[in-house]
Amino acid sequence: MTDASRYTSRGHAGLRFFAQRGLMRPFIWSLLSVKVYGTEHLDGVEPPYIVVANHSSHLDAPLLMGALPRKATRYLATGTAADYFYQVRWSRTLTELFFNSFPVERTKVRGRNGMTRQLLNAGVPLLLFPEGTRSMSGEMAAFKPGAAALSISQGVPCVPVAIAGAYDAMPKGASWPKSGRPPVTLNIGRPMSAFPEEDAVDFSDRLAKEVRALTDEAMERRERDDRARGKIN
């Protein structure tokens, strides 16, 4: 079996469907008030592609797996920190089950290139957090250019996604979401590709700018929706 075979296995996909949609999504949605916008932007988009999102909470990956359309998450593979999730067997097993994960060496960026390229070549879409680690303050940091470079070299688009409210719901260092079902909003953008002659740094900066814009839009749309429902004055 090749390294990519686990990520494309129908049997593993079936187990993930139960884990993600039968267990994880109902549980997370019961703790948070989640709204999702922009799912229509994935209509007709075929893998492989790279989902790029801001990262401020351990809630981010579960939220994305629950918010993206089922077709998009069936084989979606998530890059997760090797030094955090892959040190203990039970943590590695659960991470692989729920997120179809592959390890990312955060201090050795080059070490992941072979695996990410192999997965994309096998038609597996990827979920990457270009900031590299969770935000300490909730403010989005600059994107590292690795995801953009991978998009350019493999000729696949990036799908920008903004996650708003996850830091307030469960900031770095917290082990459980705050009570009261705090609001979290996800906004899925249109797929993006590098312009001709655009390098990885410039494309990465453009992706980060789009995620910031999607975040602002998400907050505005949620406020309008809540006002229409009489939740705020």
pLDDT in tens, 72-126: 999 999 987 666 666 677 777 777 888 888 877 655 444 455 889 999 999 999 9
Q: Which of 75-89, 148-162, 209-223 has the least mean pLDDT?
A: 75-89
Q: Which of 111-115, 151-155, 223-227 has the least mean pLDDT?
A: 111-115
pLDDT, residue 67, reads 96
Going by C-alpha positions, the residue among 156, 219, 155 that lies closest to residue 186 is 219
pTM of the entire predicted model: 0.89
pLDDT, residue 1, reads 38
Residue 38 CB coordination number (10 Å)? 20
| 5-228 carries CATH number 3.40.1130 | yes
Domains of the chain by residue range: 5-228
pLDDT, residue 2, reads 47
Going by C-alpha positions, the residue among 148, 158, 150, 155 that lies closest to residue 112 is 150
Q: Torsion over CA of 129, 107, 97 and 192, rounded to 10 degrees?
A: 30
pLDDT, residue 220, reads 93
* 163 DSSP β-pair partners: 186
